[in-house]
Amino acid sequence: MKFVFQQDIPERIDKFISKILPGCSRQFCKKLIDKKLVTVNQKIVEPSFKLHSGDIIELPDEIEKPVCKILPETGELDILYEDESIIVINKRAGILTHPLPGKTNGTLVNLILGHTKLSSIGLPFRPGVVHRLDRDTSGCIVFAKTDSAHLDLVNQFKNRMVKKNYRAVVEGNISSDIQDVSIPLFIQKQDTPRVSVRFLRGKESITRIRVIKRAKNATYIEAIPVTGRTHQIRVSLAFLGHPVVGDTKYGRSSILIARQALHAYSLSLLHPETKKMMSFKAPLPEDFLNLLKQIGIEKEYFYG
């Protein structure tokens, strides 16, 4: 198979191949490149090689694609919205968004497949996945049910067209009512990500923080990620000296809540087929509400 790269903006070869081979993950494409089965301009390249306009990519005519071993499972789903193109879920804390090589069951994707179909893009481990929430983060998350919807949503996320709004409780009192936190973030490990601030190596992240209500030793906030970096909100708040309550990776555990107090409260996007703006909200879960009560936040501020 032969392809000509025709984009003005350079792109990694492994990422490009994952787009032109439906059903093949980026990790699978990296393995193809490592096995020297891919050439660019008749030369062997590394997975990190950047393609430029006019480059000619050649792959074997027959590629044995990975078989999806992700099994549908039955279980409770809190569905906020669903049609033929997308499904929006209120994710509970404690469940992975999608399977991993060593964990192929008990994830949100398994449960959704037990209810409906998902896009084939992202197979074998990430069918229909266009963004993720951390295991212990709850709230709004959208999945694509068709390949066309998947590509459209990925483009919306890439171009910062999707608006996300989070609620969090952080340690201490944040002084500024509203502030934008701009820091460079660097992922130290891809398998078990831990993100740090690296001013020379990191990628730009921007998070807008708005104080909803201050308590004695904590602050209830709204966090809006302008960019979409891994662990962006959690690391940004820790950088400010106000880690999310219960965040054991970037802060410390809490007796008030058994996970990080971070909830994806709302999500707004253009419907991939109708092109109409749609907004979804996920009510605050019980453990989050109990935390607010314990730190003395009045009910009138819960959804402020």
CA 129 to chain centre: 8
Who has greater pLDDT, 59 or 166? 166
Two tokens, residue 156: 């919306």
Distance CA 71, CA 68 (A): 8
Q: How many CB atoms lie within 10 A of CB 114?
A: 13
Confidence of residue 67 (pLDDT cuts 50, 70, 90): low
Give yes or no for residue 32 having a pLDDT over 70.
Answer: yes
Give the closest residue to 46 by CA, choosing from 4, 6, 1, 15. 15
Tell me what pLDDT residue 62 has.
78
Q: pLDDT (tens digit, 9 = 90+) per residue, 74-90?
A: 999 999 999 999 999 99
Name the least confident of 105-114, 122-131, 184-193.
184-193
For residue 226, pLDDT over 60 is answered with yes
Q: Select from 89, 151, 143 the least CA-distant residue to 117.
A: 143
Q: Which of 115, 150, 159 lies closest to 23, judged by CA?
A: 150
* Biggest alpha carbon–alpha carbon distance for the chain: 66
Closest CA to 215 of 142, 281, 296: 296
Mean pLDDT value across residues 236-243: 97
State the average pLDDT over residues 259-286: 98
Strands 11-12 and 195-197, sheet pairing:
unpaired
Q: Looking at the predicted structure, is the pLDDT value of residue 65 above 70?
A: no
Percent of the chain with pLDDT over 70: 96
Catalytic residue IDs: 134
CA distance linking residue 1 with residue 262, whole number of Å = 46
- 80: tokens are 């906020």
| pLDDT (average), residues 226-243 | 96
C-alpha distances (whole Å) from 292 to each of 44, 74, 154, 224, 262 are 57, 32, 34, 20, 12
Residue 139 is predicted with a pLDDT of 98
Domains of the chain: 2-58 (3.10.290.10), 79-158 (3.30.2350.10), 163-301 (3.30.2350.10)
Looking at residues 235-258, what average pLDDT do you find?
97
Given this model, what pLDDT does residue 191 score?
A: 55
Residue 22 pLDDT level (bands cut at 50, 70, 90): low
Burial of 87 (0-12, 13-18, 19+ CB in 10 A): buried
Would you state the pLDDT for residue 227? 95
The encoded tokens of residue 199 equal 């001013």
154: which 2 tokens?
């990925």
Cα–Cα nearest to 45, from 37, 204, 244, 120: 37
> Model's pTM, two decimal places?
0.79
pLDDT in tens, 149-203: 999 999 999 999 999 999 999 999 999 999 999 999 988 765 567 888 888 788 9
> 48: phi > 0 → left, psi -120 to 50 → alpha, else beta; which?
alpha
Task: Return the minimum-mean-pLDDT range out of 20-24, 146-150, 241-245, 276-280.
Answer: 20-24
Contact 287, 259 (CB under 8 A): yes
- Whether residue 95 contacts residue 76, with contact meaning beta carbons closer than 8 Å, is answered with no
For position 68, what pLDDT does the model report? 53
